[in-house]
């Protein structure tokens, strides 16, 4: 079963599907072994964690593809990827889909912001016309080789045009071939209900990112409001960064790490999640004592 088919199956079976952000391969392993059925690569996380850049559309398709490859090499859990605005016009978008699919992604979402995009929960967002976004979706759909590769349309129109226009746009995006919908930065459960009523058969993603416009709705609340997926794109990454700063500050202040060891994953747990001993045993078999050189 392809990655896209696995993702669609997970969406169909969960009520709703929880999708956690995995900023790198090791995070993906941890999510996999924690029992998640889908994971996510955020464009903002890729920019910040891999390249030390803000989420302003600075990273390129090759930057994201490299992170996709690293993650899909270590887990079969289907990976949804942030494709920003598609990394260019029609031919660029087609190449994005081809490269993402080849790298092992299960699907991606493309948004209706302008090329010089901003974080979806920041002010000052600008969006393209409905027609231009429809062309983006059509280009993406036409480029996929696996019909199960998921093309998700993200709309940031709520902040600029209000919910009625955002729903109108969303209907056009689905009509153009998008499989699923990602209405960004909703502020009320009622808004999810409105999207669900307008698009009753379309899986809808709720983005529950921290410190943003959307409250911390529970999975039960979101399911009752019509959401099919709940995304936590940066939760683990934010926790990792906060813990890292605590450790750095403590070592500098105290001259030892002893006071923050409790924050750390143990060596044995690291080995467990990496299957370290399996690799070490392979070395023993290949090059162990008594083997001819």
Point out the residues that are catalytic. Answer: 40, 55, 82, 84, 109, 111, 119, 154, 184, 207
Reported as a pLDDT band with limits 50, 70 and 90, residue 290 is very low
Mean pLDDT over 285-290 rounds to: 74
Choose the weakest-confidence range: 22-26, 170-174, 219-223, 287-291.
287-291
C-beta of residue 101 within 8 angstroms of C-beta of residue 78 = no
Q: What is the pLDDT of residue 15?
A: 87
CA–CA dist 192, 207 (Å, integer): 11
Residue 115: pLDDT above 80?
no
| CATH 3.20.20.60 segments of the chain | 3-233
Query: What is the mean pLDDT of the segment spanning 59-66?
Result: 95
User: Which residues have C-beta within 8 Å of that of residue 233, sequence separation ≥ 6?
Assistant: 21, 40, 42, 44, 45, 82, 207, 209
Q: What confidence score (pLDDT) does residue 293 get?
A: 45
With a pLDDT cut of 70, the percent of the chain lying above it is 98
Between 49 and 55, residue with greater pLDDT: 49
Mean pLDDT, the chain, rounded, equals: 94
- Per-residue pLDDT at 291: 52
pLDDT, average across residues 175-189: 97
- Worst-scoring range by mean pLDDT, 34-43, 163-172, 199-208, 275-284? 275-284
Average pLDDT of the segment spanning 58-83: 96
SS3 sequence, the chain?
CCHHHHHHHHHHHCCCEEEEECCCHHHHHHHHHCCCCCEEECHHHHHHHHHCCCCCCCCCHHHHHHHHHHHHCCCCCCEEEECCCCCCCHHHHHHHHHHHHHHCCCEEEEECECCCCCCCCCCCCCECCHHHHHHHHHHHHHHCCCCCCEEEEEECHHHHHCHHHHHHHHHHHHHCCCCEEEECCCCCHHHHHHHHHHCCCCCEEEECCCCCCCCCCCHHHHHHHCCCEEEECCHHHHHHHHHHHHHHHHHHHHCCCHHHHHHCCCHHHHHHHHCHHHHHHHHHHHHCCCCCC
What does the chain come to in residues?
A: 293
* Cα dihedral: 120, 64, 114, 58 (round 10): 90
Q: Is residue 154 pLDDT above 70, yes or no?
A: yes
| CA separation for the pair 259, 257 (Å, rounded) | 6
Per the CB < 8 A criterion, the answer to whether 154 and 111 are in contact is yes
Asked if 206 and 17 count as a contact pair (C-beta separation under 8 A), the reply is: no
For range 223-230, the mean pLDDT: 97
Q: What is the pLDDT of residue 114?
A: 79
**Is pLDDT at 58 greater than 50 in this prediction?**
yes
The pLDDT of residue 280 is 86
- Average pLDDT (35-62) is 93
Residue 60 φ then ψ, to 5°: -110, 170
CATH superfamily placement of domain 3-233: Phosphoenolpyruvate-binding domains (3.20.20.60)
Residue of 107, 109, 108, 111 whose CA lies nearest to 119:
111
Quick one: pLDDT band at residue 289, thresholds 50, 70, 90?
A: low
What is the predicted pLDDT for the residue at 40? 98
């Amino acid at each position: 079963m392809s990655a896209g088919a696995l993702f669609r199956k997970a969406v169909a079976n969960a009520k709703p599907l929880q999708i956690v952000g995995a900023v790198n391969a090791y995070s993906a392993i941890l999510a996999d072994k924690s029992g998640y059925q889908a994971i996510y690569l955020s464009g903002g996380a890729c920019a910040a964690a891999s390249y030390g850049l803000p989420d302003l559309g600075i990273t390129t398709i090759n930057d994201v593809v490299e992170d996709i490859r690293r993650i899909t090499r270590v887990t079969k859990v289907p990976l949804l990827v942030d494709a920003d605005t598609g990394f260019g016009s029609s031919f660029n978008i087609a190449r994005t889909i081809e490269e993402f699919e080849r790298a092992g992604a299960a699907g991606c979402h493309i948004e209706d912001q302008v090329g010089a995009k901003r974080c979806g929960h920041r002010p000052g967002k600008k969006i393209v016309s409905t027609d231009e976004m429809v062309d983006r979706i059509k280009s993406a759909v036409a480029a996929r080789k696996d019909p199960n590769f998921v093309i998700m349309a993200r709309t940031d129109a709520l902040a600029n045009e209000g919910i009625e226009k955002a729903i109108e746009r969303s209907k056009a995006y689905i009509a153009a071939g998008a499989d699923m919908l990602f209405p960004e930065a909703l502020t009320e459960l009622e808004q999810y209900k409105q999207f669900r009523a307008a698009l009753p058969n379309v899986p809808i993603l709720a983005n529950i990112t921290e410190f943003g416009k959307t409250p911390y709705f529970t999975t039960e609340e979101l399911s009752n409001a019509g959401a099919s997926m709940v995304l936590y794109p940066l939760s683990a990454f934010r926790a990792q960064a906060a813990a890292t700063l605590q450790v750095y500050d403590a070592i500098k202040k105290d001259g030892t790490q002893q006071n923050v060891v409790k924050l750390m994953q143990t060596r044995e747990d690291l080995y467990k999640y990496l299957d370290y001993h399996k690799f070490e045993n392979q070395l023993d078999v290949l090059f162990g004592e008594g083997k001819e050189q």
